[in-house]
Amino acid sequence: MNCHDLWNYRNIRHSGSYQIDVDGDGPLSPIWVSCEMAEDDDPHHVMTVIHHDSEDPVHVRHYESAGSYFRNITYNGATEEHLIALINSSFSCQQYIKWACKGSMFGFWYPDAIDSWWVGRNWTNQYYWGGAETDSGSCGCHPYCYPTTRNSTCNCDSNEKLKWLDDSGLLLDSNRLPVLQLRFGDTGESNEAGEHTLGPVKCRATGHKDIFEGGFKAPCKFVTPGYKDNKYPAPFLRHTWTIEISEGQYMELVFPEYDVVHYGAYNNVSGCRNVVTVQAQKTNTNEIVTLTRQKTPPYYASDGSEITVNITLTTCNQD
């Protein structure tokens, strides 16, 4: 059971604390969770949330050796088994993590001298940070981290001692969650310090909602609903457009505002490996060309044939 079940089967629409049985008829006892019900009546946005005792920022100093500072995370009324049962039965889960730093490095760029990391499921050390791809040895800022002469893959790995920087983002690989412990070092000198923040575990029970945005004749221009004021559209929606290109017409597809920075993290979210898909079918031969995004946005140029183009944008950004 999860908060989505309360929405579906008990018609509960108000956010709040509810008791659920995460493993159904299994041996685990029921636990209290926070349910974030959808404000827009879309059950895809219902979140099951488990809080813990370390969500407020915690200042760290005087711990120089690697991982010498540690913080065990105690979840409210939930054991690791409860958390794993919830995560394994969910469509996707996430956990926000942040390390503010002054002269305190992760050391991901130099594997033999890693200073800080987090510990995930089964008490396994994890050497990557929020917003980055699993096992990448990097943070979400990469490759646009704070400029430095080092080969740094995180803002904090610049070892800047004169001002505060931070690395933060969402951990999205459900197979590595939950965060069970935080480990930090390199805060022993007088001009070194850090501060960690860890959000609750948040899980969604359902996947993508398909939205057909309509058919258009080329040439045309359209935008994703909700993409304005530098905000992403709502998460876990698939927007699809159909474009008819007449014979003798030529059209190029471009994606000027498509986010490429944090694509790697989406690889670990179900159904988000290909965030944008372009499928073009020639009318006379029924030949189908499919383009999926890898490291750069898809780009397609028609050849003058009569073509139907289907464009799907999957919003894999998380709340």
Asked if residue 270 lies in contact with residue 235, where contact means CB atoms within 8 angstroms, the answer is no
Strand partners, 99: 167, 196
Burial level of 24, CB count in 10 A (0-12/13-18/19+)? Answer: exposed
Please state the domain count of the chain. 2
Checking 39-42 for CB contacts under 8 A at 24+ apart, the result is 40/234, 42/209, 42/234
Estimate the share of the chain in helix, then strand, then coil, as percent rounded to the nearest 5: 10, 35, 55
* Residue 77 three-state SS: coil
* Residue 7 three-state SS: helix
User: What does pTM read for this prediction?
Assistant: 0.86
Residue where a domain stops, chosen among 138, 173, 204 = 204
Residue where a domain stops, chosen among 169, 204, 239 = 204
42/33 Cα distance (integer angstroms): 20
Query: Which pLDDT belongs to residue 230?
Result: 59
State whether 105 and 180 are in the same domain. yes
272/267 Cα distance (integer angstroms): 6
State whether 78 and 148 are in the same domain. yes
Phi, psi of 122 (to 5 degrees): 60, 25
Local confidence pLDDT in tens for the 319 residues of the chain: 899 999 999 999 999 999 999 998 899 999 999 999 987 778 888 999 999 999 999 999 999 999 999 999 999 999 999 999 999 999 999 999 999 999 999 988 776 789 999 999 999 999 999 988 899 899 988 777 887 766 678 999 988 899 999 999 999 999 999 999 999 999 999 999 999 999 999 999 988 889 999 999 988 888 777 666 656 677 788 889 999 999 998 888 877 666 544 455 677 777 777 778 888 999 888 889 888 765 566 778 888 899 999 988 888 766 6
State whether 46 and 130 are in the same domain. yes
State whether 173 and 213 are in the same domain. no
Angle at 291 between CA 284 and CA 131, to 5 degrees: 160
The verdict on whether omega for the bond into residue 143 sits within 30 degrees of 0, i.e. cis, is yes
State whether 217 and 247 are in the same domain. yes
State whether 217 and 149 are in the same domain. no
CA distances in angstroms from 290 to 118, 170, 278, 312, listed in the order given? 39, 30, 6, 11
Query: Which pLDDT belongs to residue 293?
Result: 65
Query: Which pLDDT belongs to residue 319?
Result: 64
- Domain around 311: 209-315
The pair of three-digit structure tokens given for residue 132, joined into one six-digit string:
């980055």
The pair of three-digit structure tokens given for residue 109, joined into one six-digit string:
């760029």
State whether 51 and 171 are in the same domain. yes
CATH of the domain at 267: 2.60.120
CATH of the domain at 34: 2.60.120.1000
State whether 141 and 178 are in the same domain. yes
The pair of three-digit structure tokens given for residue 36, joined into one six-digit string:
């974030």
State whether 213 and 200 are in the same domain. no
Helix boundaries (H) for the chain: 3-9, 80-88, 263-266
Asked if residue 208 lies in contact with residue 314, where contact means CB atoms within 8 angstroms, the answer is yes
Asked if residue 65 lies in contact with residue 82, where contact means CB atoms within 8 angstroms, the answer is no
Query: Which pLDDT belongs to residue 106?
Result: 92
Residue where a domain stops, chosen among 155, 189, 204 = 204
18/2 Cα distance (integer angstroms): 9
Asked if residue 187 lies in contact with residue 69, where contact means CB atoms within 8 angstroms, the answer is yes
DSSP code of residue 91: S
State whether 110 and 244 are in the same domain. no
The pair of three-digit structure tokens given for residue 163, joined into one six-digit string:
């001002």
